[in-house]
Amino acid sequence: MDITGASAIVTGGASGIGAAVVRQLAARGAKVVVADLNAELGEALAQEVGGAFVGVDVTDTEQIKNAVDKAGELGPLRVLVNSAGIGWAQRTIGRDGEFDSAHDLGAFTKVIGINLIGTFDALRLAATAMSRNEPDADGQRGVVVNMASVAAFDGQIGQASYSASKGGVVGMTLPIARDLSSAGIRVNTVAPGLIDTPIYGEGEASEQFKAKLGESVLFPKRLGVPDELASMVIECVTNSYMNGEVIRVDGGIRMPPK
């Protein structure tokens, strides 16, 4: 699918994988809306790529609508990349056998709300706008790429909420792709492995920690970089025959229990 002159939205687009996606979409000729909570980074990136920044908390439907409306001002909205998300790690039960030591239910709900419900909310609203587009020669009106995680398949101890949220994203990919096929909208999901993003911090200790993590990757024995994930997102966007798929980009890693 040719996205030259079209608009795109990237949630969580101000940093990490999302920022790499923003840059690669812009390089393909799209006008990109950076939808993120971080105004400082988001505005700087939007200025860099000639796009626009919209402050978006993906648990707020009205803020997502604002991003969709802004995208429509830049060009026909043909691309949504759902990259916003958070992590959480906590064991299911505590060591003392008390109810109060069990997994924080509020934290579980928050992770699901952002990673899964937020993804679906952005998808349903962006797809509604896409459905109004004129179809291209292939009958396409738009494409959605969701960001899941290998934790959807290989969740580690303590990742119940995160794995559940990303497993939900994986699970809804095919039924939504089937649903939106009548509107000419494709849906794919990318599942990253261990990726070198700002969550690991900076400095010598951080580099040593990342090197240790990289040893568990099948090959190459390192963390992935955001551009490697972004290139797969671009393939999912531009390859018109990619639909209803979940693709792991993980160096062949299969995560151990802990």
Q: What domains are defined for the chain?
A: 7-196+225-248 (3.40.50.720)
Q: How confident is the model at residue 187 (pLDDT cuts 50, 70, 90)?
A: very high
| pTM, rounded to two decimals | 0.96
Report the run of H or E that residue 9 belongs to, with start and end: strand 7-11
Q: How confident is the model at residue 147 (pLDDT cuts 50, 70, 90)?
A: very high
Cα–Cα nearest to 5, from 31, 27, 33 = 31
- Return mean pLDDT, the chain: 97
Say if CB 76 and CB 7 are below 8 A apart: yes
pLDDT for the residue 200: 80
Catalytic residue, candidates 147, 162, 165, 191: 162
Q: How confident is the model at residue 180 (pLDDT cuts 50, 70, 90)?
A: very high
- Our answer to whether residue 162 is catalytic in this structure is yes
